[in-house]
Structure 1
Amino acid sequence: MTGSERGQTMATRVGAGITADVADTVATPKATEPPEPSGPSGIWHRGRVLATAALLLGLLLLLHASIPNRTGNLGSLVETFLPWCGLLVPLLLAGALLRRSATAVIALLLPAAAWLNLFGPLLVDKSHPGGDLTVVSHNVGAHNPDPVGTARALAGSGADVLALEELAARARGTYEKELAKAYPHHTVQGTVGLWSRFPLSDTRPVDVKMDAGPLGDAKPAEVKMVYNRGMRTTVATDHGPLAVYVAHLGSVRVNPRAGLSSGRRDAGAQSLGQAVAAEENERVVLLGDLNGTLDDRAYAGLTSRMESAQEAAGSGFGFSWPAAFPVVRIDQILVRGVEPESAWVLPATGSDHLPVAARVSWRTR
């Protein structure tokens, strides 16, 4: 055999070996993960993680009242931002559609139904025309750079009764001067005040548990009055006497380690609830910055006795803070014995809060 023939024979053998190896590789693939099911059955097997997340979200919305407050006031923290949990529903839905998962889509029915049950009624305009009295509440802000503009905006709001919170001593004279023409009657108790078109009587401060210092040290009586953040008065309206409470409850803080710190606010809400419960006047309105949403269980003593004007006669959530981009409603108007006809949020002033307003009537439906 010549050299050329031997070379051709060797090349033939090598080529045959490579062909055999390739054939073996094709015939016996390496072990891999089994592919996800496709076709009609696959849509039920995909997206199990998304489905689990949807079910957990639904349970959170349904059982939020069962979340304990023992550690960092976790329950109150969740309830403060509970409406925003609804944003997770379309996000999870988008993921379910991308994964083409029927299981996840069906699981999302639970949180969607739970959210609509809790907050769906707020999306409907429940206002009615008419009403006998317009009330407005505004935390004007201790560091408001434009108290004159704020006072003039409030005077032009059409309010018959106007409550102001966080009145700084240096700005008090400005508000009294600018509001004097529209409101011949007013009273200031510490850092809260009420301006009215009607006469006022039986005015007194209301203890909202803000008389202790940062370490619990009791303040002297004269200092307490300066920092008083609650009051009660009787407004002699054309339809009869109306008891009006004005309150600015303690602030809350969110700390990554301690959670929601709201001890003073919660104590103030409890004290305010007791004052309203003891109120002898049939018709009562509470105006103020309560530093929390009414979904928070801390306000059970108030919400069990009074009705939110926004929930009864408003449209939407009525978020009031922060003014630049409101995400929660912490400024409230609660009523008892009068009927809310409409409720709304007024345009921004120089404060970091938005003013809130309501129109109420003496008749009941």
Structure 2
Amino acid sequence: MAIDPPTPPPLDTMRTVTEPVIDERTTGGPGGHRDRRGWLVSLFAVLLAGLLAGHRAVPNVHGLGSLVDSVTPLLGLGVPPLAVAALLRRSRRALAVVLLPAVVWAALYGGAWLPPATGAGPAAIRVASQNLRSGNPDPVATVDAVAAAGADLIGLQEIDDDRVDAALRQRYPHRAAVSTVALWSRWPIRDSADVDTGLGWTRALRAVVAAPGGDLVVYVVHLGSARAGHTATRDETLAALASTVRADPAPRLVVLGDLNTATTDRVFAPLTRLLRDAQADAGQGFGFTWPAELPVTRPDHVLYRGLTPTAAGVLHTPDSDHRAVTAGFRW
């Protein structure tokens, strides 16, 4: 009896599938490429948030920590590009993560853009500080712009031209000076003395101004310079100034000057424990002053105690590489 051979199964049932399953999310396909880039945006957003929140943890080796502290307010500029990148990649997850550095920045610095809590009432004392820039081709134009703002007291740094005193003498008949810093006042200066900040040459003074509301102690200061990798001199002079102010018994005191660092710098802490910052209390925005044409930091300050600030701001003056800082106070 003949037995028919078994009928072979159809060819399509014999085919063994050996090709790997392709998942576009991991192979660079349209969805995968977008997802991978979304992770990259998220990573940068988390790193930015961490740097904003923990910038004081950056080691201050060769001034690196101070530099990061000083530019931290500018790190908020990294949020918009990250948000745009998340939108371009159509990654909702990345866009949500970008909110993290935005929230941290707003918590740290958003208050600087709100209307100041102080500022009620007219100013009884108006002050200004300006680094003239050594070699300024027209210092008279610079100081005229500062005087036009209506200051009662003007502190100047990097003075190296006799024309400055001649330009201010009629409007500000009282003057105290040492080296390249000076104070001009509408009111009598009862006393003045050099202040040693450990710089090696005197570049700071203390004056007692007989203001209408009572005596006011005014410091005009130019601290040591700071360069990338070289901040030791600046740090030492700042510590010396803080020590001098700490020992000063004056109940009403103002510091005007170029301190060569921002209030966000960790080395500024000894001064912020003793004095208030007029820009932070009565100004709006960061009040950047250097470099004058496109300022990215604020080395110039009006610090105070024993007074109530009514206003604070920044003035773009001609021919200097710094903008001037101004403030108003009441007793």
State TM-score, norm by structure 1.
0.81
Which residue pairs with 1:135 in the alignment?
127
Match for residue 59 of structure 1?
50
Counterpart of 2:222 (choices 248, 251, 262) is 248
The CA deviation at 1:275 is: 0.8
Letter in 2 for 1:287: L
Residue 292 of structure 1 aligns to a residue whose secondary structure is: coil
Deviation at 1:231, TM superposition (A): 0.8
Contact 1:148 1:178 in 2 (8 A): yes
Q: Which deviates more from structure 2 when the two are superposed, residues 124-133 or residues 304-313?
A: 124-133
What amino acid does structure 2 have at the position aligned with 1:314? G
Give the corresponding residue for 2:327.
358
Of 242, 261, 270, 1:292 maps to 261
**Percent identity, aligned pairs only?**
40
Q: CA deviation at 1:129?
A: 4.5
Map 1:139-154 onto structure 2 (within 5 A): 139-154=131-146
Q: CA deviation at 1:157?
A: 2.0
Q: Distance in 1 between matches of 2:82 and 2:145?
A: 43
Is the 8 Å Cα contact of residues 128 and 313 (structure 1) preserved in structure 2?
A: no
1:156 aligns with 2:137: no
Deviation track 1:205-257 (CA, whole Å, cap 9, x = no partner) reads 1112210xxxxxxxxxxxx3xxx211111111110111111111111112xxx
Equivalence for 1:107: 97
Paired residue secondary structure (2:24): coil
> Residue deviations 1:173-232, cap 9 Å, x none?
211111011111001111110000111123111112210xxxxxxxxxxxx3xxx21111
* C-alpha displacement of 1:80: 1.2
Specify whether residues 35 and 238 from structure 1 end up closer, same or farther in structure 2 by C-alpha distance, changes over 3 A only: same
Counterpart of 1:276, as a letter, is V
CA–CA distance in 1 between the matches of 2:130 and 2:191? Answer: 22
**Residue 249 (structure 2) pairs with residue 275 (structure 1):** no
Contact 2:220/2:255 (CA < 8 Å) preserved in 1? yes
Partner residue, 2:113: 123
Letter in 1 for 2:192: T
Contact 2:25 2:31 in 1 (8 A): no
The structure-2 alpha-carbon separation of the partners of 1:272 and 1:33, relative to structure 1 and needing over 3 Å to count, comes to farther
Structure 1: tracts of 5 or more residues without a match: 1-22, 212-223, 255-259
Corresponding position of 2:289? 320
The Cα of 1:329 is off from its aligned counterpart by: 1.1
Paired residue total: 314
In angstroms, what is the RMSD of aligned CA positions? 2.5
TM-score by length of 2: 0.89
Residues 40, 151 of structure 1: alpha-carbon distance in 2 compared, 3 angstrom cutoff: closer
Residues 1:180 and 2:172 are matched in the alignment: no
Q: What is the letter of the counterpart of residue 58 of structure 2? A: I
User: Per the alignment, in what secondary structure is the counterpart of residue 52 of structure 1?
Assistant: helix
Shift of 1:39: 11
- Segments of structure 2 that go 5 or more residues without pairing to the other structure are 1-11
The structural deviation recorded for 1:335 is: 0.7
TM-fit CA distance, 1:123: 1.0
Extract structure 1 runs of 4+ deviating beyond 4 A. Answer: 27-33, 37-46
Deviations 1:55-75 (A, max 9, x none): 111111111112221x22221
Query: 2:192 matched to 1:203?
Result: yes
Bigger Rg over Cα: 1
Q: How does 1:87-102 map to 2 (within 5 A)?
A: 87-102=77-92
Counterpart for residue 24 of structure 2: 35
Shift of 1:154: 2.4
Per the alignment, residue 270 of structure 2 pairs with 301
**2:65 aligned counterpart, secondary structure:** helix
8 Å Cα contact 1:129/1:342 also seen in 2: no
Letter in 1 for 2:66: S
- How many Å separate the matches in 2 of 1:82 and 1:192? 30
Residue 79 of structure 2 corresponds to residue 82 of structure 1: no
Secondary structure at 1:72's aligned position in 2?
helix
1:165·1:289 contact (CA, 8 Å) conserved in 2? yes
CA–CA distance in structure 2, aligned partners of residues 346 and 32 of structure 1: 66
